[in-house]
Amino acid sequence: MTATTSDPKAMPAPSVAKDDHSEGMSYLESLPRKTVTVYIPLIIIMVVLLFPFYWMFITAIKPDQDLLDLHGGNPLWVGEPTFRHFYKLLFESNYPTWLWNTMFVAVCATFLSIVASVLAAYAITRIRFKGAQTVGGLIFLAYLVPPSILFIPLSTIIHVYGLFDTPFALILTYPTILIPFCTWLLMGYFKTIPYELEECALIDGASRWQIMVKIIIPLAIPGLISAFIFAFTLCWNEFIYALTFISSNPNKTVPTAIVSEFVDGDVFRWGSLMAGALVGSLPLVILYAFFVEHYVSAMTGAVKE
Amino acid sequence: MADAAIARTTAAPGEPSTWERLKVNRNWLGLWFMLPAMAFLVLFLVYPLGKGLWMSFTDARIGREGRFVGLENFEWLIEDRDFVRALIFTIVFTFIASAVKFAIGLYLALLLNNNLPFKAFIRSVVLIPFIVPTVLSAVAFWWIFDTQFSVITWGLVKLGLLDRGSPINWMGDPTMAQGVVIFANIWRGIPFIAITLLAGLQTVSPSLYEAATLDGATKWQNFRYVTYPLLTPIIAVVMTFSVLFTFTDFQLIWAMTRGGPVNATHLMATLSYQRGILGGNLGEGAAIAISMVPFLLAAILFSWFGLQRRKWQQGENND
């Protein structure tokens, strides 16, 4: 707030001017005006954004007979909540297996990608080998190649390698989505670490490997957490590869299983479907709740460069 | 150990061995550090991309290597009504969804940039639709827009806007279903755009607004001549990504409609899956996927250069 401190009236109490740093000129707005221009539109947008989750939750705890009877009572509320759908999901279906598959694939793929990305990002930003700039650009281009134009040729390749219908089909293909993103994000973080630290270590006789493991990685922990969370979410969310490369029920991941396994002929089991969708989102939402800041910085960091 | 010691003494001091020199060579080291990432990207990205291009010129089927057939697949596709329909719908879908996402996303970002109570909390709540896997929220939309038991229909009946005897056939009517999937895509995309643009907005110094306001600028002028020019670079990047991912969307459509009713909501990606994997015509599926590439390149170039040039112009002659 340099502008306010140059204002003579603000001079006697500069600390006050500093305190309302985030407020800007908003004190000029009256409450009724702000209600109409800010709060009401904000509330409407939030309601639209969150309503599907509310509806999912309500559907998941409704008894079956209430689900198909909209006009009997108020469908937005549940008289007698039941956890039968959750019980059936967790104890009478393969759901725990699917959850485990998703978790296993996501953790392995994320781990592989982060290791590969740390090495690549370090090499591009710090070792500066011949053509490092070009390689950085190519990796960014790889980020722009969408899975939906790769899944057909990949499915034949997966067959040839004998990986079809195994978790490895996913563990090895997900990194192609994750590595470009993670490398790009980590390059941004590595660039902020001062060169001097590395030069000191070089003079003390450290090898490149030691510098990376003992100096760069510890300093880039926030970046690594961001990359991990975002990559993990992308894995959990991935659908087209999982749909194409996995065929048998016990090997499926949650997103693909949900859309195919809860439909008996033409009868949709809406309660179980919604319970499954909720439970499938829960691990991500919990993870997200703990690391919001890292998540946001990963998202914005990836587009800032 | 002893060997190593001997090796070290035999090499004359001041003249390191080839191995020693190689160990500190930037290019040699760089190669090793890049190896894991490159291995993944070449094996599972570059190679399939090339193979996909090749397959689009063959008549490959599942379990059978194809013969080269030249442009036959593409000639077939141009004649194919379903393909042309999917192509048109993909373009319309991308255009409407991206435009609305951008407008509402920017509006939401501007709203969130105000001085609000519980700002951090509101911001994290807004992002939830982006965190939850697309397929799982698509399932919720599937149920919200169910033809018989739609809660929206119920709401409209309650408000007296709709007769109870004639419910809206959300997912059964082609135009309605197209509207529903576009809506779901917009719903899912807004948080990403809003939060990234908000990050851009927060870097704009408040003193610029104060200066503009002292000069008599209105709220609109503040936005048009201060916010928008400063935000243009980030808008270019965000919209490039948004257009790209909207154009190649697969999972939302597949989870909600599988391309139905009567193929009205097929995007090119879903049509390619249906023909290539379910139908077994890998060559034709690959051709559909490959025909997305020119559009993708055009979209990327358009959003990138279109918005970048704007920025340069504004830098040069102040619009």
Does the beta-carbon distance from B154 to A135 stay under 8 Å? no
- Residue among B123, B234, B244 whose CB faces A303 most closely: B234
Amino acid B317: pLDDT = 39
Q: Are A46 and B125 in contact (CB < 8 Å)? A: yes
* Tens-digit pLDDT string for chain B (319 aa): 445 544 444 445 566 677 777 777 788 888 888 999 999 999 999 999 999 999 999 888 887 777 888 888 899 888 999 999 999 999 999 999 999 999 999 999 999 988 888 888 888 889 899 889 998 889 889 888 887 778 888 888 888 777 777 777 888 888 889 999 999 999 999 999 999 999 888 888 888 888 998 998 888 898 889 888 888 888 888 888 888 889 999 999 998 888 878 888 999 999 999 999 998 889 999 999 999 999 888 877 876 676 665 555 554 433 3
* pLDDT number for residue A18: 38
What is the model's pLDDT at position A304? 55
Q: Would you state the pLDDT for residue A11?
A: 38
Indicate the residue type of A119: L
pLDDT of residue B21: 73
CA-based Rg of chain A, rounded to a whole angstrom?
25
Please give, rounded to a whole number of angstroms, the shortest distance from the CA of B83 to a CA of chain A. 16
CA dihedral of residues A138, A143, A144, A145 (deg, nearest 10): 90
Q: Do A119 and B128 touch (CB under 8 A)?
A: no
Spatial CA neighbour of A259 closest among B146, B171, B251? B251
Quote the pTM value: 0.85
- Report the CATH superfamily, name and number, of domain A94-304: MetI-like (1.10.3720.10)
Q: How far is CA A87 from the centre of its chain?
A: 28
Max alpha carbon distance in chain A (Å)? Answer: 79
Chain A positions in Cβ-Cβ contact with residue B287 (cut-off 8 Å)? none
Q: How many A×B Cβ pairs under 8 Å?
A: 292
Question: Tokens 């104890």 identify what position?
Answer: A91
Dihedral of CA B290/B295/B298/B299: which sign? negative
pLDDT for the residue B42: 93
pLDDT of residue B114: 84
Q: Which of B44, B235, B277 to mutate to test the interface with A (most CBs of A within 10 A)?
A: B44
Q: How far is A7 from chain B (nearest CA, A)?
A: 12
Do B269 and A172 make contact, defined as CB atoms within 8 angstroms? no
CA distance A273 to chain B (A): 8
Angle of helix A40-60 relative to helix A270-290, nearest 10 degrees? Answer: 130
User: All domains of chain B, ordered by start, with CATH?
Assistant: 1-39 (no CATH), 74-317 (1.10.3720.10)
- Per-window interface: B 20-39 vs A, CB < 8 A: 23, 26-27, 29-31, 33-38
Whole-number pLDDT of residue B109:
93
CA-based nearest residue in chain A for residue B157: A71
Question: Which residues of chain A form CATH 1.10.3720.10?
Answer: 94-304
In A, minimum Cα distance to B65 occurs at A156
Q: Is residue B73 less than 8 Å (CB to CB) from chain A?
A: no
Angle between helix axes A167-191 and A292-304 (nearest 10 degrees) is: 80
Show Cβ contacts of residue A263 under 8 Å, excluding neighbours closer than 6 positions. Answer: A269
pLDDT at B288: 93
Please list, in sequence order, all residues whose beta carbon lies within 8 angstroms of the beta carbon of residue B40, skipping any fewer than 6 positions away.
Answer: A112, A113, A116, A172, A175, A176, A179
Answer whether B95 touches A (CB < 8 Å). Answer: no
Query: By CA distance, what is B245's nearest residue in A?
Result: A146
| CB of B40 less than 8 A from some CB of A | yes
φ, ψ of residue B182 in degrees (nearest 5):
-65, -45
Distances (CA, A) of B290 to A152, A272, B48: 10, 38, 12
Which ranges of chain A have pLDDT less than 50? 1-21, 305
Residue A171, pLDDT score: 94
Predicted complex: ipTM over 0.90: no
